[in-house]
Amino acid sequence: LPESTTEWRLTARGCTTETLVGQATSSLITRKDFFLELKTPVFTQEGDEMRFLAKIHNLTDHEGQVKVSLDIKGEQQFHSERTIQIKGHSVTECLFNKMTIPLAKSITLTATATSGDLVDSLQLELPTRPWGMEFASSAGAITSGSSHAVVSLPKKQTYSWRELEVTLSPSIRQAIVDFALSGGGSSQADALLATISALNYATKHNASADDIRILQSRARDLVGSLTATQLDDGFWHWNGSADLYQSCRSYWALGLARKAGIVLQPGMLAKTEKNLANQFTKLGSNDNNNKSLILHALSITGKADFAHLNRIYRERAKLSSNALAFTAVAMANLERPDFARDLVELLEKKVKLETPENQPKIAWWPGSGYTVLQDRNETTAMVLLAFSAVKPESPLAAQAANLLMRERPRLCYVSPQALGSSVAALTAFYEKQEDAKADFEVRVLVNNNEVAKIKSANIGRHKMIKVPAKLIVDGDNIIRFEKAGPGSYAYNVSLTGFSPDLKNPKAWGSHLYFTGDSYYHDNLSYRGVPLKSASSSPVKNIEIGQKIHAVSRVSNSWSDARRSYRVRKEFIPAGMLLVDGSLKGNFQHHEIDDGVITMYYRAGSYIGSISYDLVGYAPGTYRVLPGTIRDFYNRQKLTTSKPRTITVLAPGEKSDDPYKLNRHERFELANLNFKDGNYEVALGHLQHLFKHERKHYERDLARMLLWIHTMDQYFDAGKVVEMFEILRERHPSLNIPFDKILVVGKAYRLIGEHERAWLVFRATIDSSFINDASLSATLEDQGQFLGGIEYMDRICLEYPDTPQVVASYFALSQQLYNKAPKAHELQAEEDRRRRKLGAKAAEHAPYDRIGLLKASLDHLHRFLAIYPADPLADDAAFSMANAYFALEDYETVVKAAEGFRKLYPESSFATSFQYMAALGHFWQYHFKEALASAAPVTESKSKDRDYARYITAQIHHALGTPAKAIEWYGKVKTLYPDAADAIKYFEAEKIEMDEVSSFKPGEKVEVELRFRNIKEAYLQIYKVDLMKLYLREKNLSNITKVHLAGIEPAFEMTLDLGDGKDYRDRERKATLPLKDEGAYLVICRGDDLFTSSMILVTPLKLEIQETPASGSLRVNVRDTVDNGYQAKVHVKAIGSNDNVFKSGDTDLRGIFVAEGLNGAATVIARQKGRYAFYRGTTHLGRKATPQQKPGQQLRPQQLQQGDYLQNINKGNDLMQKEQINQWDSLRRGKGGKGVEVQQAR
C-alpha cells in the first residue's frame, strides 16, 4: 500500500459454478508514525500575504527538535525554515514566515520535517488567481487561403497578465463540430441546438465516426436533461422561473432532435405547443418581437399558424431586425419562400457593415427588445439562417458568417446564449460547400514572429497554440496565417488579460449599483444559543476558526437594469471557507466554485442584498476582488463594488477589533438576562438603552426597569414612578402583579404624591374585586345563574364603592333583565344541574319572565337608592322605565319617566324619558297628554327627536287626523319605511267610473265618479261605433288607450272635486248632456290619472238566459219603448276565455242563441245606430284555472306596540349589551394576575 495516511475499504465478491454469489467487505487504516500536514486554502490570489501553517503529527515516543522547512516555487522563489520542539504522541503546529503570493498560474509548495531518523515531506500545487478584472478579445474565420486576424485589449488598462491562444481546425466540418462542443456557459437548449445542428452537418459531410458518436451521445444526454427539467405546463425555466425565450429555444432544439431520430418522451412537445399558443394570445398587439419568436419555434414542427405570420408580414415595414429574421425563417420553414425573400430584402437595408483593418469584411444586425433579443450575435445568426434559406448567394451572408466565426470564443464563453443559433446558422450556410481534400501547410506568425508551422495531416481534430507572453504587445496583435496547398481550415484567436485597474464602469448609473460591502462579527450567543439579532460590528482581523457574517448591498431601481438577465459574482477571501447553507439573497440560482459565488437573476427581479458566513482557515492578509454584476447577454455591461481586505490571524493571536453592540443585540441580551433573573446584567443593558435608544423600546424598557426597581435591592422611588408613568401612557394594558403595584403606590407616597398613591391602591382594590368576581362566571357556566347573582350581591356589598364595584352591581340588574326572555331555558338548565346533583327541581326559583323582570327592578331600585348621584344612575333609571314597559305597567311608566326627567335633567336620556312618558300616555289612550309629552322632544336636537316625531305622527294617525299625520310622517319618512308607506296610503290618488252604463232615450244621463285626492276632473265625450270598437279591443279594459288623436269630442266638461287633500274615498255624480241614441265613450282625466266609461243611450234591452254547463247563451232583444221584441238585430257574443266571436241576427221572436262559449259572456247588439250591451258574471263552458290579478289594496296600517317601542328598546338593548359585555369581559379577563396600568389613573 502507498506510504500515506489513508482509510481503505476492501471488497471481495465471488460467484460459484452454480451461479451462487456473495460478497464481504472489510476496512483498514494505513498511517505513518511521523508525518507532516500543511494547512492551505484551495487556491491562492496574487498579492495576498500568507503564513502557511504546518502540523507535525508524532505518533511515536520520540521527543526532541524538528527542523521544518517550506519551499515555494513559481515566478518567485520562497524559502522558510523553523526549528520547533515536539513531544511523543502529539500534534505540534509550525507557522512559517509571511510571503506574498506572486503572479503565476500556480505555485508549488514543498514542506519537509526532519527529526533524527524521522522524516516526512509533501508537495502541493495551488492555483493562483490573478488580481484584477478580466478582459478579452477574439477573432476567427473559415478560409481556404492565407489570412490574418487582429486582437487587442482595451488600451486604457494596465495588465499584470496576458495570454494569447491560437486554435486551428483542419476543415469546415471539424470547425463546426468543435464550435458546437466548446460552449461551456451555454444553456441546455442552446447546447442541444448547437449539437443537433453540428450532428446533421457532420452526418451529411461524412465526418469521422468518433465525431458523430460524440455528438449523438451529447445530444441524447441533453435531451434527457431537458426532459427532466420541463415544467408541468410544458415550459422550461431560466435559473428557477419559467421563461419564454428558453422555452422557444428548447422547443426548436427538441424539434430538430426528433427529426434527427432521437426519441422524445410522448407528449413532450405537445405540452409546449399548447402553452406557447396560450402565451401568444396574451401578448400585446404590437409585441411582434415575442410573437415572431413563438411562431418561429412552432414553425420547426409545422405548427405555426400562417395567418398569424401573415399579419406580422403585413407590418414588415415597422418590424425590428429580430422580428424580420424570425418571421423570415418561419416563412421558409412553412415553405413560403416568396414571403421570406421579401423580408430578407428588408434586412439587407438594415445591415451594419465593418471592414476591420487587415481583417475580412463583416456584416451584422443590431438586436432590440427584451433581454437576449438585444444581442447582435443572436440577431445576426437568425439573419444568416434567413439568407441561407432563400438567398445564400448574397455577399452579406458570407460576411455574417465571418462575424460569427470571429466571435466564436465570445460565443463559447462570454456570450453563450447565441451559441445554438450561431452553429445552426453556420451549418445552414456551409451545408452545400464541400471541403477540398486537405493537403496544406500553414505557417502561423504573431507580430511577425513565427510560432508554428503545421501540416494539415498533423492538425488532427484541432491544434491549439499557446503564444509565448513575450511576443504579446500592447495595442494590436497581428496573427498571420500563411497557407500553401489545397483545403480549407478554420482558425480562432483569443487574447485574454487581467488588469489590476479596478475602476467601476457603472454601466447602469444610479439604477443599479453597489451601496456597500461589509464583514461583521458572527451573532453573539447567550447560554450557547445564537442571538436572533445580527451583529453590525465590523471586523478586519479574525481568528482561526472564527465565523464572520458578510453582507453585500445593492440598490436596483426599476429601469433597464431590471429588464435583462443578470449575473452577480461575489469573491471569497483565499484563506476563508464559505459556510454551507449560509448564502441568502433574492437570486433564482447560484453556483459555488473555488473562491467565487455566482448568482443568477431573471429579468424583472430585484437584486438587493446578499449575505453569507465565512470561517477563518488559513493565516494571512487577503485582498478581496470587487463584486460584479453583469448583463448575462452583454458581459461588457457591468458594475462593481469596491475591493476589501481582511486578515486571518495566526494561531494564538487575538483580534483587536472592538466589538460594538448594536441596539438590537443589547435589547435582546437585556431581555434574556431579565427573563433568567440576571437582573444586575440586565440592568446595565437597560440603563444604556433607556439613555441612548429610548424611543425604540421605551415601553419594554420601562416595564423591565419597573420590575427591577420595585425589588428591595434595586428600589428607587423616583425610578419606579418614572417607569410607571411611561407605562401608563405607552402600555396601558400591561398587567402588573399585586406585589409590584403595591410598591408603586408606596413610591408615590414616598415622593409625596398621595392622591396618585390612592389611585394606585384603588386600582389594586378593583383588580382584587375582579379576581373575586371571576367566580360568578364559573357559577353561571355551571348553570347556576341565580347563584352567581346572589354571590355577586354579597361581594359588591363587601367591597368599597369604587367605580368598578358600582358598575358591576348595575350590570347585575342588566343581566337579569337580559335573561328574562330566556327564563324557560334557565329553568331547564337549573333543573338538569340539580338532577345531576340528586336534588329536586327548583320549584320556587323566579325562573319566568315576570320573575326575572321584577328581580331586575329590585336591583335597580336598590342601585338608585344607594347610588342616586352615580354617573350610571340615569342608565339605571332608563332601564327601570323600560322594565315597566316590558311589564305593561303604563301608569308607572308615566310616573317613573316624568320623575326621572326632572331628577336627571342633564342626562342623555332626558328626552328619552319625555318620549317614554308620551308612550305611556298613548297606551292608556291619553292622546292629548301623549302629544303634550312628545311635543318638546319633536323640536329638540336630541337623538330621540325623530322617534318623538314618529310617535306624534302615529298618534295623529290613530286619532284620524290624516293631514297632521302626513305632516309629521313627512319629517321622518327617509328614516322609517313605515312612515313613507303611511304617507303613500293617505296621499294615494285614484279615479274610476263604471265600465258600461245604459239609459233609455229621454232619461237623465248621469255618471258616478269615485275618486280620492283629486282636485279636478276633465271629461271628454265621443260618439263611437260600439261594435267596431269592441271588435278591435275585444273587451273594454284598454279603452283609455284608444287612439283618438285628431277627433273632436262631442262634449267636454270640467268638474271641481275639492282641494285634492281628501285622504279618503269620495263619490260625485256628473250629468251628461246626451239626448240622442247611440254609444258614447267618456274619457275622464283626474289630475294625472285617466279612467273611462261607455254610455249607451238606447231603447234596446238585452234579456239573457245562460246555460253554464253547455256554454250556451240565449239573447232576447226587446225595445223598452214599445215593449216589442226586435227581429234582425245584429248580435255578437264572446266568452272571456275565447278568441272568436259568435255572430248572428235575431229571429222573428227577437232571439239569438250562441253556443260553445267559455268564460263570462260579453254581448253587444246593434240595430241601425242603436246599441245594447251585456257583461255576464256566470262562468260558461269549461272551467279555467283562475289567476288572480296582481293588485294591492290600500288600507290603514295596524300599529303594534313594538313599532312605538323600537327606539327605546334599541337604546335599552345597546346599554344592556354594553354593560353586560363590559362586566363579562371584566370577570372573565385577567383577574388574579395583577393590576392593569390604565386602571391606576
In this structure, which CATH number among 1.25.40, 1.20.1300, 3.40.50, 1.10.10 belongs to the domain 663-762? 1.25.40
Q: Given pLDDT bands bounded at 50, 70 and 90, which one contains residue 1075? A: confident
* pLDDT exceeds 80 at position 719: yes
Cβ-contact 1137, 1078 below 8 angstroms? no
Dihedral in degrees, nearest 10, Cα atoms 126, 130, 134, 135: -110
Residues of each domain in the chain carrying CATH 1.50.10.20: 172-434
List pLDDT tens digits, range 446-475.
999 999 999 888 887 778 899 998 999 998
Cell readout for 327 is 418571421
CA 743 to chain centre: 51
What is each CA distance from 901 to 766, 858, 1116, 1216, in whole angstroms? 32, 21, 80, 20
What is the 8-class DSSP label of residue 1012? E
Residues of each domain in the chain carrying CATH 2.60.40.10: 6-129, 989-1097, 1098-1184
Count of C-beta atoms within a 10 Å radius of residue 505: 12
At a CB cut-off of 8 Å and minimum separation 6, what does 429 contact?
384, 387, 388, 392, 397, 398, 400, 401
Specify the residue for cell string 350610571: 872
> Residue 142: beta bridge partners?
490
Specify the residue for cell string 436533461: 225
Looking at residue 416, its pLDDT comes to 63
Cell readout for 852 is 326575572
pTM: 0.56
At a CB cut-off of 8 Å and minimum separation 6, what does 59 contact?
31, 32, 33, 34, 89
What fold is seen in the domain 172-434? Glycosyltransferase (1.50.10)
Looking at residue 605, its pLDDT comes to 78
Architecture of domain 989-1097: Sandwich (2.60)
Class of domain 6-129: mainly beta
Residues of each domain in the chain carrying CATH 2.60.120.260: 142-171+435-501
Cβ-contact 269, 301 below 8 angstroms? yes
Lowest mean pLDDT of 23-32, 83-92, 369-378, 781-790, name the range. Answer: 369-378
List pLDDT tens digits, range 1155-1192.
989 999 988 999 888 888 888 889 998 776 544 444 33
Looking at residue 119, its pLDDT comes to 92
- Across 468-558, the runs of DSSP E, i.e. the strands, are 477-484, 489-499, 512-521, 525-526, 529-530, 541-542, 547-556
Cβ-contact 1072, 1029 below 8 angstroms? no
Looking at residue 440, its pLDDT comes to 87
What is the 8-class DSSP label of residue 905? T
Identify which of 574, 579, 528, 575 has the alpha carbon closest to the alpha carbon of residue 549: 579
Q: What is the mean pLDDT of the chain?
A: 85
Architecture of domain 504-648: Sandwich (2.60)
Lowest mean pLDDT of 314-323, 350-359, 413-422, name the range. Answer: 413-422
Identify which of 579, 599, 515, 525 has the alpha carbon closest to the alpha carbon of residue 551: 515
- The average pLDDT across 975-980 equals 84
Q: Given pLDDT bands bounded at 50, 70 and 90, which one contains residue 65? A: very high
List pLDDT tens digits, range 200-249.
888 888 778 888 888 899 899 999 989 988 998 999 886 556 788 889 99
Cβ-contact 289, 324 below 8 angstroms? no
Of the CA atoms within 13 Å of residue 307, those in its CB half-sphere come to: 0
Q: What is the CATH number of domain 142-171+435-501?
A: 2.60.120.260
List pLDDT tens digits, range 328-345.
999 999 999 999 999 999
> Residue 1076: beta bridge partners?
none
Identify which of 1131, 1116, 955, 1120 has the alpha carbon closest to the alpha carbon of residue 1026: 1131
Residues for the chain: how many in total? Answer: 1241
Rounded to 5°, the CA angle 870-871-872 comes to 90
Dihedral in degrees, nearest 10, Cα atoms 785, 789, 795, 798: -160
Enclosing H/E stretch for 938: helix 927-938
List pLDDT tens digits, range 255-281.
999 999 999 999 999 999 999 999 999
Q: What string of DSSP letters covers 1045-1110?
A: TTPPPSEEEEEE--SS---S-EEEEEE----SSEEEEEEEEETTEEEEEEEEE-SEEEEEEEETTT
In this structure, which CATH number among 3.40.50.1460, 2.40.10.10, 3.30.9.10, 2.60.40.10 belongs to the domain 1098-1184? 2.60.40.10
Enclosing H/E stretch for 163: strand 161-169
Question: Cα-atom radius of gyration of the chain, to the nearest Å?
Answer: 53
Cβ-contact 1023, 977 below 8 angstroms? no
What is each CA distance from 267 to 190, 232, 244, 245, 1188, in whole angstroms? 22, 12, 19, 20, 65
Backbone angles phi and psi of 1010, in degrees to 5: -110, 120
Lowest mean pLDDT of 495-509, 819-833, 980-994, 1197-1211, name the range. Answer: 1197-1211
Alpha helices in 239-282 (DSSP H): 244-259, 268-282
Looking at residue 769, its pLDDT comes to 78
Cβ-contact 536, 577 below 8 angstroms? no
Percent of the chain with pLDDT over 90: 36
List pLDDT tens digits, range 544-580.
999 999 999 999 886 655 567 788 999 999 999 999 9
User: Going by CATH, does the domain composed of 775-979+1213-1238 fall within 3.30.470.20?
Assistant: no
Looking at residue 1199, its pLDDT comes to 42
Cell readout for 1204 is 312605538
Q: Is 156 helix (H, G, I), strand (E, B) or coil?
A: coil
- The average pLDDT across 130-140 equals 83
Looking at residue 1196, its pLDDT comes to 35
Helix 823-836 to helix 785-798 angle, to the nearest 10 degrees?
Answer: 90
Looking at residue 520, its pLDDT comes to 95
List pLDDT tens digits, range 138-193.
787 778 888 888 888 888 788 888 899 998 888 777 777 777 777 555 688 888 99
